Amino acid sequence: MWHTFRRLPVLRRFLPSATPPHLQNLQNTHQGASAPTPPDWAKFEEPLEGYGSDFGYLPVAIGDVLDSRYVIKRKLGWGNHSTVWLAEQQNSPRFSALKILTSGATDTDELHELEYLQEIRDKNATHPGHAHNVQLLDHFYHEDNGARHLCLVTEPMCETLSAFAAGWQSRALPIPLVRQVARQVLFGLDYLHSECNIIHTDLKPSNIMFAPLGDPTSLLAAAATAAPFDGHNETSVGLDPNGRSIARVPQNRILFPIPENLKAADAWRNAHVKLADVGVACWADKVSECPFDVIQSPALRAPEVCIGAEWGKPADVWSFGCMIYELCLGKPIFPPKAMDTVLPVLQVEVFGDYPLELVQRGRHGDAYFNSDGSSKHDLPRRISLPFDQLLSRRSDVDQDHLLVDFMKRILTLDPDRRPTCQELLTHEWVNSQD
C-alpha cells in the first residue's frame, strides 16, 4: 500500500521558514490604492518579464483548449524556455503533459528537443532503457500574437527526484531506492548513448521523474481536479513589459506516493523513474556544434568540461555519479552555485591532481595548472575522498564498500578511464539485493 501524503516520521516536517511558498496559506494584499501585490508564490513562478518579448512564454490559463483537443487542467512546472501543464484530451480519459516552449526556443536553430524526442521514441523500443526515458506522444505549434510556440505532448509524470528528496530528512533517500534509481537511470542513459547517439548534458535530480504507479488514469484524473497543496485556487494577475495582462497560477506537481512499510525488503520495487528534459542535449557526433560554451550544472560538471577539453558521453557519466552521491548524502559534492573558475580547484582538493594529459588537452588548463600538471593554487590540506564519508554519515550504509567502490569508479577525473553505462550496469552494487 502506498501513501500519497507525506506524513511519515522519517520525513522532514517543514518549519515555517522552510515551507515552500506555494504551500503556505497566502493572501493577496494591497498597498493603498495601488494594484494588488503579487502573492509570495508568484516570485517562484516564471517571471512576468518572460512574457514581454517576441521570444517569451505563451500565456496559458486553466481550462484553455490547445490544438482543439488538449484541455489545460493543472500547472506542473516551468523552466527558462517553457511551461509544463497537465492536459486532458477532449472526449477521452487520456491525460498527457504539455510542454509549451517559448517562442524564442521554438524558432532557434540551436535547440533540437523535438528531434531528440522523436529519436528516443522511434529508435529501439526493445532496449530496456527505452522505458526509462520520457516518451513523446504528439507535437503541434500554437500561434499567439504573431509568435509561434512548439508544444510537446509527452506521457505525464509525477514529481522529480529533486522535489521528492526535499521532503525527506536531510534530503537523503533510502539506499534501496537510490540503488533502484541508479540502475534505471543507467539503463535510460545507456539507451541515449548507445542507441540514440545523444548526450544529455544536463543530468541531475530535477531531470529525473517518477512514473505514476498503478492505474495512471485514475491518479491523473484525481490530480486534474484536485485543489493545490494549500487548498486555494489562486491566480496572480500582472502586467508584462508590454502592458498585457498575464494571469499566472502556482505550479502544482503530482506527488509520488511513499510505501506504507519502508522497512520491507521490496518497499521500492515498483518505483519507476525516467530521464526527462533533453532540451539542451546534443548529438554525440556533433559536439562541436553544441551552442553552449559550458554544459552541465556546476555541482555536476565534469572535469574535462571545466577546463575546456573535448567532452563526450563520459561527461554524462560524471554527472550521474555526482547525482547518486547527492541522493545518498542529501547534499551535492560541490556548491550548486560554484563559480566556473573555482570548480577545477575544488575538484583537485577532493579528487587529487588532474591527469597531465587531460590538462594539456584543456583550452583553459594553463589557468589552473603548471606545465607538470600540479595546481597553481594554494590548497588546504587535502581531505579524504567524500565517498569514504558515506560509511560514517549514513547508518544504513555502514560498511557498504560496494557502494563506495561504485562511486569511485564513476568519479574518475580522466574521462578516458571513466566506465560506460553498460560497464556500470554489471557492477555488484547495482545488482545486489538489500
- Dist. CA 207–CA 101, nearest whole Å: 17
Contacts with 87 (C-beta within 8 Å, 6 or more apart), sequence order: 66, 70, 71, 72, 73, 95, 96, 97, 98, 153
DSSP 246-276: EEE----PPPPPEES-TTSTTTTTT--EEE-
Residue 301, CB-side half-sphere exposure with 13 Å CA sphere: 28
Task: Please pick, among 40, 138, 202, 285, the residue that the annotation labels catalytic.
Answer: 202
Burial of 378 (0-12, 13-18, 19+ CB in 10 A): exposed
The crossing angle, in degrees rounded to 10, of helices 401-410 and 313-329 is 150
- Dist. CA 278–CA 188, nearest whole Å: 12
Q: Is 202 tagged catalytic?
A: yes
Residue 95's H or E segment, with its range, is strand 95-101
DSSP reduced 3-state for 131: helix
Burial of 266 (0-12, 13-18, 19+ CB in 10 A): exposed
Q: Which letter, b or e, does each residue of 385-417 get, where b requires 16 or more Cβ atoms within 10 Å of its Cβ?
A: bbbeebeeebeebeebebbbebbebbbbbebee
Torsion over CA of 176, 179, 183 and 188, rounded to 10 degrees? 90
Give me 375's grid cell: 595546481
Q: Which residues lie across from 74 on neighbouring strands?
A: 86
Give me 218's grid cell: 485514475
Positions marked catalytic: 202
